[in-house]
Amino acid sequence: MADAAMTIKCEFDGYWREPNKGSLPAKAGVYCVYGCTYDEKAKKVNLAKLVYIGEAGDIKDRVANHDKLDAWKKQLSSGQILCYSAALLAPDTTRQRAEAALIFKHKPPVNTEYAHSFPFDTTTIETSGTTAKLVTPFTVKKDATD
């Protein structure tokens, strides 16, 4: 069977700071969790590091009730808060494949699944929007390991 290569376009929107995470979209997609600082005077988020990448059928609900929230917070340095960005994607297989590729490429410290192997066919990810700390474009091949 031929390799079912796929290109997935992820347009990220954000950044939502932790106190505003209730405004995340209640829609399907992938999301990134960052450690950031907020410049009140400039009204600007400054991202320090990518902490976690996930996917969900409802991003708002998943982030609000995530079992790794404490692990995310442990990644923060003094003065940092959590910030989020999201890219709307469906169906489930596309979200899971995009999540896996993003995790494999970026290796956020709280992710374990997909951090060292990629089980999907060749996948190219093209990101746009609020993509600080994300490489674009990039391609991951099936059974890639690091």
- The string of pLDDT tens digits covering residues 45-65 is 999 999 999 999 999 999 999
Which of 36-40, 58-62, 105-109 is least confident?
36-40
Domain holding 64: CATH number?
Answer: 3.40.1440.10
Residue carrying the six token digits 């600080």: 132
Flag whether 132 is in a domain.
yes
Flag whether 91 is in a domain.
yes
- pLDDT value, residue 1: 40
pTM of the model: 0.93
Tell me how many domains the chain contains. Answer: 1
- The string of pLDDT tens digits covering residues 64-95 is 999 999 999 999 999 999 999 999 997 777 99
Question: Domain range spanning residue 29?
Answer: 6-145
Flag whether 26 is in a domain.
yes
Q: What's the one-letter identity of residue 106?
A: H
- pLDDT value, residue 2: 47
CA distances from 26 to 29, 31, 42, 98 (A): 9, 12, 28, 18
- Residue 82 near residue 37, CB atoms below 8 Å: no
Flag whether 1 is in a domain.
no
- pLDDT value, residue 90: 77
Flag whether 20 is in a domain.
yes
Q: How far apart are CA 126 and CA 104, in angstroms?
A: 15
Flag whether 58 is in a domain.
yes
**Mean pLDDT of all residues in the chain?**
93
